[in-house]
């Protein structure tokens, strides 16, 4: 049995109830087998065992009081996965789907995504099974403060720097940072990223993941001689990533014909971005409300990937495993030429294999959606220097980082003689080498 298989067998035995984590680890460990052949010292130093085990897992209860006086209890988590490259860095997710296995998967992926930015940040993830939907502002604020009552002991600008994720925006980060400051007595804006501009946030942070996705898409298209102008495009999701991917996609001339949320999807010849922002960001309503003001659009229940829409560019920006193998086959039949992940692992293993087998250009999330964490790291830099860069300066730095990530993948494809379309394996190899070398350089005891 190979080194890789031995490690995977042990992980599957220990974490059999964590399918998302096992899926992510299996993908990475199989992808980096060529690296292990070049570096036998990695096995001697137990790199696979160490890199696939979180350095620290913190789990705690979060009791909170509703407006009617009833007390509820949720679980809070922080998975500090790997700090070899710098302070743990990754978002907090508030959603009923949150459990330890999901956060281990996200923290594991975050470690490699952060490595590709080449910025000095390690990987982590956290959150709670608390559902902010339907809660009052006072209830959300109380929950955030009680969450930080425990988490503040384990974070800080040089230790672990949380950010937002699903269910956690700048408002929630503000509540948490304010309570962190009261508890610690320290004014450390670098303890959190994703803050509002009023108290140490960075320009472009809201737009960063969506914008970065399109910058990566442009780089892929350029080296493969693909003209993106007027290419019909599907975007799934309707949060920050999807909306700002839509904004930048329209700016560069892509024709976005469909967008979705958790209940259904819109199809239109031209989507009205400002109307979408009003419905999803301000009013926080279903996409079904869109057709009340734009009667030229059509709304359908279900997944956009079960539709029969003809599209060449596919940008999944919602959640993990939203595209399965059968749906991927339909996308290929309907003309897909590029799939770029704006979410973490939205295409499952069968879907990725389908895309690669059909020579579809496929950009994995750990590379294509790294813009958000990259801009979070830029926010940390600005906080450390007590200054703020302009929107244009941050946007230019973000674009440079995304183009550099793409260049790293091209270099890895060449160095390891991979298929020119095998961006997923290249991303895993490039990121793994960075983390592994840092771990070896720091010794073991």
- Taking alpha carbons only, the member of 208, 207, 181 closest to residue 192 is 181
Cα–Cα distance for residue pair 344/366, rounded to 1 Å: 7
CB contact at 8 A, 237 and 261: yes
Cα–Cα distance for residue pair 302/94, rounded to 1 Å: 23
CB contact at 8 A, 160 and 154: yes
Active-site option among 113, 125, 280, 434: 125
**382, two tokens:** 């600005």
- 413-418: Cβ within 8 A, 24+ apart: 416/34
In the block, residue with structure tokens 């270099």: 411
Q: Output DSSP code: residue 168.
A: B
Give the HSE-up count for residue 230: Cα atoms under 13 Å, Cβ half-sphere. 0
125 is catalytic: yes
Q: Mark out the alpha helices in 75-129 (DSSP H runs).
A: 100-116
Residue 53, SS3 per DSSP: coil
CB contact at 8 A, 27 and 428: yes
Give CA separation, 267 vs 302, 309, 315, 418, in Å: 13, 9, 15, 37
Identify any residues that bridge with 266 across adjacent strands, giving them in sequence order: 259, 299
CB contact at 8 A, 230 and 253: yes
Residues with Cβ < 8 Å from 48, sequence gap 6 or more?
3, 4, 7, 29, 36, 42
Residues with Cβ < 8 Å from 160, sequence gap 6 or more?
78, 80, 87, 88, 89, 124, 154
Burial class (CB in 10 A: 0-12, 13-18, 19+), 109: buried
- Taking alpha carbons only, the member of 197, 129, 196, 136 closest to residue 166 is 129
Q: Mark out the alpha helices in 32-136 (DSSP H runs).
A: 33-38, 41-44, 47-51, 100-116
Residue 248: Cβ within 10 Å count = 18
Catalytic residue IDs: 125
């Amino acid at each position: 049995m190979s080194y890789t298989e031995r490690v995977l067998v042990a992980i599957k035995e220990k974490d059999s109830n964590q399918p998302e984590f096992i899926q992510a680890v299996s993908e990475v460990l199989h992808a980096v087998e060529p690296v292990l052949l070049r570096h036998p010292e990695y096995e001697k130093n137990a790199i696979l065992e160490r890199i696939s085990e979180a350095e620290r897992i913190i789990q705690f209860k979060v009791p909170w009081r509703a407006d009617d006086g009833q007390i509820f209890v949720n679980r809070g988590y922080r998975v500090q996965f790997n700090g070899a490259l710098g302070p743990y860095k990754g978002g907090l997710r508030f959603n009923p789907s949150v459990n330890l296995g999901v956060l281990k998967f996200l923290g594991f992926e975050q470690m490699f995504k952060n490595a590709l930015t080449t910025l000095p940040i390690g990987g982590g993830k956290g959150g709670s099974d608390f559902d902010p939907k339907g809660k009052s502002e006072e209830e959300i604020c109380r929950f955030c403060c009680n969450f930080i009552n425990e988490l503040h002991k384990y974070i800080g600008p040089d230790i672990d720097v949380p950010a937002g994720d699903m269910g956690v925006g700048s408002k929630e980060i503000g509540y948490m940072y304010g309570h962190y400051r009261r508890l610690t007595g320290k004014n450390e804006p670098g303890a959190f990223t994703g803050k509002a501009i009023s108290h140490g946030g960075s320009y472009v942070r809201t737009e960063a993941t969506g914008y970065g996705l399109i910058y990566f898409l442009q780089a892929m298209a350029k080296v493969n001689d693909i003209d993106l102008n007027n290419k019909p495009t599907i975007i799934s999701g309707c949060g920050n990533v999807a909306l700002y991917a839509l904004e930048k996609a329209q700016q560069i001339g892509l024709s976005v014909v469909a967008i979705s949320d958790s209940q259904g999807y819109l199809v239109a010849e031209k989507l009205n971005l400002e109307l979408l922002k009003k419905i999803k960001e301000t009013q926080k309503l279903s996409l079904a409300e869109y057709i009340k003001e734009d009667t030229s659009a059509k709304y359908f229940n279900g997944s956009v990937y079960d539709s029969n829409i003809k599209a060449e560019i596919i940008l999944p920006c919602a959640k993990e495993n939203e595209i399965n193998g059968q749906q991927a086959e339909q996308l290929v039949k309907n003309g897909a030429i590029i799939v770029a992940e704006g979410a973490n692992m939205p295409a499952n293993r069968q879907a990725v294999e389908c895309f690669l087998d059909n020579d579809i250009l496929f950009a994995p999330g750990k590379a294509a959606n790294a813009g958000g964490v990259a801009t979070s790291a830029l926010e940390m830099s600005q906080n450390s220097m007590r200054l703020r860069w302009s929107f244009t300066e941050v946007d230019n730095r973000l674009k440079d980082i995304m183009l550099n990530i793409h260049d790293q993948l091209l270099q890895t494809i060449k160095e390891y003689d991979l298929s020119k379309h095998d961006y997923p394996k290249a991303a895993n190899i490039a990121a793994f080498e960075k983390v592994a070398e840092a771990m070896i350089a720091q010794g073991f005891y």
